[in-house]
Amino acid sequence: MPTSRSVVIGVDSSTQSAKAAAVDADTGELLALGRAPHAVTGSAGARESDPEEWWTALAAAVRAAVREAGVPAASVTGIAVAGQQHGLVALGPDGRPLRPALLWNDTRSAPQATALATRLGGPASWQDRTGSVPVASMTAAKWQWLREHEPHHAEAATGIRLPHDHLTERLSGTAVTDPGDASGTCWYGTATGAYDPDVLDLIGLDPALLPAVAPSGATRVGTLTPAAAEALGLPRTVAVAAGTGDNMAAAVGLGLGGAGLLDHPVVSLGTSGTVFAATRARPAAPGLAGFAATDGTYLPLGCTLNCTLAVDRFATLLGLDREDAAPGGDVVVLPYLDGERTPDLPHAAGLVTGLRHGTDPRAVLGAAYEGAAFTVLRALDELLAACGLDPAAPGVRDRPLRLIGGGARGRAWTETVRRLSGRPLVVPAADELVALGAAALAAGAVTGSDPVALTTAWGTGAGALLPPVPRDEETWDRIATVLAAATPTLLS
């Protein structure tokens, strides 16, 4: 293997692990993937992690990736981190965390989010300022929780970081974030491209505690510190990019952005379902997170709570394999086992209707797939409409729907989404889109190239194109009718 090969490292620091992709900067070839776990603790709504474990896992994953790639450490030229969004890291005078980080799925801050949403002119004003209304996941609500429940930690903090910000600072020594991850805090103005002073004043957060906002996630913010170089086993000359949040990095990995695909919808099927698209419009709509992308465009995102995990629960209850499903027919399942976020039904439970003595259990499982797919595709229609697009217009409807996440590898999921959407589907061949997107940010920091243009050239978002099938309007309308009828009483 030629030693002149330029290798970049893209790190996906997720809720439960770190994955480091060693990527050929010229071709986008994934040479190796290193992994290392870290723990999540907490109960009764608490979800926390020790950021020191993130750092240890990052270093272990990077070392494993370089070793398994079989390349000399000297060939590594750049690194970038894409991290789980919204988490709160409070730093002390020594630059180390004062306490475990509050994670995105820590719901203890729900009362603080509700109270904040009524301030500053109410939800519409928050959408106009920051793109999103405060909910428990947003960092502003978590900071408010810390001020109310642990004031000694809030008062002692000398720095406030998001997870990816903290790791980037450990790599480079520079306190920096990017527009994409910053847009998930509810204290960054997506309209102004800067921290909102009124929000900071409302929540009592000194802007001096926050990192600078780099122009993009591919901005070169420095090189490895001596301590970071030693921990990772890499040269100090390795360029460090500003990095971004995990959703923004996945968009880069798919080639979504100003130098690639705009207004092309994506559905991610995981524990939760998400829908997003890179767009030049700046939509502000209830139920949407009006994120910024990392390249200067926007990344509006909708999220449903019940997706693959909820359907798998139905398979378990029915004693069926997850792929042993049939069309639901007259059966309708709304699998809202954890309440639902989109639509906003936080107190909902699962609902099954249309059962008969002769109902095939496989049809019940198929109806669970249909109910979950309907919910996420309905959120997609709302997202497109908020971007000024007509979901039913041929020019919009005919754009391939990019299907990612664990569910995208399942036949039942794929066929259900095809049938209920009536759209062509692209299922990207690459699995590690967040890490690949981060690698493109690292390559951008090294060469100055646009990372979306790089992934477009690399083809990381490419995959099999599945032609559309006629949309199952009958099933769609049946689910919509049940949802409308049940919402005022059974689901609220």
Distance CA 413, CA 352 (A): 19
What 3-state DSSP class applies to 484? helix
Distance CA 323, CA 302 (A): 26
Distance CA 130, CA 74 (A): 42
Helix or strand run (H / E) with residue 18: strand 17-24
Longest dimension (CA), the chain: 70
Helix or strand run (H / E) with residue 64: helix 51-69
Helix or strand run (H / E) with residue 404: strand 401-404
The single residue of 24, 246, 295, 472 carrying the catalytic annotation is: 246
Residue with tokens 């910024």: 292
Around Cβ 225, how many Cβ atoms within 10 Å?
17
- Among this protein's residues, is 477 annotated catalytic? no
Structure token digits, residue 74: 């000297």
Distance CA 3, CA 13 (A): 28
Distance CA 349, CA 354 (A): 17
Tell the burial category of 470 from Cβ atoms under 10 Å away from its Cβ (0-12, 13-18, 19+).
Answer: exposed
CA dihedral over 157, 86, 300, 124, signed as positive or negative: negative
Q: Which residues have C-beta within 8 Å of that of residue 300, sequence separation ≥ 6?
A: 131, 276, 277, 279, 283, 285, 288, 289, 290, 291, 383, 386, 387
Beta strands in 147-304 (DSSP E): 159-161, 176-177, 188-189, 194-195, 212-213, 220-223, 239-241, 244-245, 266-269, 273-276, 289-292, 298-304
Nearest-Å Rg of the Cα atoms of the chain is 22
Around Cβ 409, how many Cβ atoms within 10 Å?
13
DSSP letter (8 states) at residue 339:
B
DSSP letter (8 states) at residue 409:
G
Around Cβ 311, how many Cβ atoms within 10 Å?
30
Catalytic residues: 246
